[in-house]
């Protein structure tokens, strides 16, 4: 064994050695329908005004660690209840890591639990924090298996439970009454995180219910709303609980340009909400067009993407790749055999995707 191999074996945790880096595929030259991004940019006059704001940003000083102005705008414009504050993160990924780190350690390895298939960062952050991940498979119709969830909660007493609302990659909203049962079953031995990354397209939320459940965190991101490039997530919870997570948050984790751009966007939130309305309508049209194709199943979605089961997902993905259309092949995930996930985009890009799917269906 070489020196470097011995060094890695002696210093890097075995589970990290066995894992692989999170790979983002190169999208150069492709129509990008794999990452649930908003395809629309800000209107030209707003981009010009934003440019002036960014030019005036103070780059030679560290950002204000309190982010007080940005947090106030988030709370007042995005429905955070009175008396509640938010913690900001470099996307929701950092917030998930903060929570996993905060609960890790102690006399035993904590358990982090979530339905599967779900957002990969739930299980990945558990591994990186030194926690055990327990996945509870969804039913065939992508709904929660409530009985198994409750049994696993009773068995493992998880420190964190993640419930995505809507869920990724399935796109559906879990039954809110079943989610409340889960929150109550977890009780004071764990924290339930309701991940509302796709909330702008669902138009429903648990945020206003924070005062009901002291063990609940509501987490969101502005990425799907149309600001993926600035990497900003936020989460709200009972003030005492939020204060514990704030101890784990790195100082200056939100840079000045992100802060400036986010404050500007919240001043013009209506423009982003209008784009979300366009995408909701496009989602329904694309779902109907796909469902009309032979052998194709479209699952209900309250997000800005669709989960679609095809007769031959691999063949369809090969055709899409040849046509320079990038989607996510999720057919190897538990319960998602034959499925792809596609971001809802502009009418032009949706039409190109649909034509490629039609061509793939007639070629085999």
pLDDT digits 0-9 by tens, 23-49: 888 889 999 999 999 999 999 999 999
The CATH number given to 13-42+270-362 is: 3.90.1150.10
The confidence score (pLDDT) of residue 7 equals 94
Average pLDDT over the chain reads: 96
**Pairing status of strand 111-116 against strand 132-137:** parallel
Grouped pLDDT means (10 residues each) for the chain, 364 residues: 94 92 88 96 96 96 91 97 97 97 87 97 95 97 97 98 98 98 98 97 97 98 93 97 97 96 96 97 98 97 98 95 96 95 98 96 78
The confidence score (pLDDT) of residue 364 equals 59
Determine contact, residues 37/230, Cβ cutoff 8 Å. no
The confidence score (pLDDT) of residue 66 equals 87
Determine contact, residues 127/19, Cβ cutoff 8 Å. yes
The confidence score (pLDDT) of residue 156 equals 97
Q: Closest Cα partner for 113 from 177, 168, 186?
A: 186
The confidence score (pLDDT) of residue 247 equals 97
Q: Closest Cα partner for 171 from 36, 362, 44, 347?
A: 36
Q: What is the pTM of this model?
A: 0.96
Q: Where in the chain is the domain with CATH 3.40.640.10?
A: 60-267
Dist CA 85 CA 236 (whole Å): 6
The confidence score (pLDDT) of residue 275 equals 97
Beta bridge partners of 236: 86, 218
Token pair, residue 292, equals: 């009309």
Q: Which fold has domain 60-267?
A: 3.40.640
Share of the chain above pLDDT 70, in %: 100
The confidence score (pLDDT) of residue 216 equals 98
Q: Closest Cα partner for 118 from 198, 204, 15, 19?
A: 198
The confidence score (pLDDT) of residue 108 equals 78
Token pair, residue 239, equals: 């003030």
- Name the helix (H) or strand (E) containing 296: none
Q: Where in the chain is the domain with CATH 3.90.1150.10?
A: 13-42+270-362
Q: Distance between alpha carbon 354 and the CA centroid of its chain, in Å? A: 25
Long-range contacts of 239-243 (CB under 8 A, 24+ apart): 239/83, 239/84, 239/85, 241/191, 241/214, 241/215, 241/217, 242/84, 242/85, 242/86, 242/87
pLDDT digits 0-9 by tens, 129-185: 999 999 999 999 999 999 999 999 999 999 999 999 999 999 999 999 999 999 999
Dist CA 280 CA 286 (whole Å): 10
Token pair, residue 68, equals: 């007080």
The confidence score (pLDDT) of residue 65 equals 82
Token pair, residue 303, equals: 């997000």
């Amino acid at each position: 064994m070489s020196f470097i191999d011995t060094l890695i074996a002696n210093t890097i945790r075995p589970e990290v050695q066995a894992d692989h880096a999170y790979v983002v595929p190169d999208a150069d030259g492709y129509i990008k329908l794999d990452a649930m991004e908003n395809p629309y940019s800000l209107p030209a006059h707003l981009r010009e005004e934003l440019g002036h704001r960014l030019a005036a940003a103070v780059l030679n000083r560290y950002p204000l660690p309190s982010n007080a102005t940005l947090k106030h705008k988030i709370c007042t414009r995005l429905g955070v209840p009175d008396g509640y504050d938010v913690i900001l993160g470099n996307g929701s990924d950092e917030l998930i890591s903060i929570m996993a780190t905060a609960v890790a350690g102690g006399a035993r390895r904590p358990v982090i639990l979530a339905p599967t298939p779900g957002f990969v960062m739930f299980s990945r952050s558990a591994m990186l924090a030194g926690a055990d991940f327990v996945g509870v498979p969804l039913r065939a119709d992508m709904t929660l298996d409530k009985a198994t969830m409750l049994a696993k909660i009773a068995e493992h007493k998880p420190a964190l439970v993640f419930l995505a609302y809507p869920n990724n990659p399935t796109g559906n909203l879990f039954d809110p009454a079943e989610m409340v049962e889960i929150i109550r079953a977890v009780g004071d031995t764990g924290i339930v995180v309701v991940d509302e990354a796709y909330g702008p397209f669902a138009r429903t939320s648990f945020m206003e219910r924070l005062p009901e459940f002291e063990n609940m965190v509501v987490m969101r991101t502005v990425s799907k709303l149309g600001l993926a490039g600035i990497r900003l997530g936020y989460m709200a919870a009972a003030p005492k609980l939020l204060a514990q997570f704030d101890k784990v948050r790195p100082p200056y984790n939100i840079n000045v340009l992100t802060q400036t751009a986010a404050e500007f966007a919240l001043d013009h939130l209506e423009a982003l909400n209008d784009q979300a309305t366009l995408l909701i309508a496009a989602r329904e049209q694309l779902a109907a067009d796909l469902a009309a194709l032979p052998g194709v199943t479209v699952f209900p979605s309250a997000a800005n993407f669709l989960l679609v089961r095809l007769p031959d997902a691999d063949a369809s993905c090969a055709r899409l790749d040849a046509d320079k259309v990038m989607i996510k092949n999720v057919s190897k995930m538990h319960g998602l055999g034959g499925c792809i996930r596609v971001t809802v985009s502009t009418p032009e890009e949706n039409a190109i995707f649909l034509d490629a799917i039609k061509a793939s269906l007639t070629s085999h």
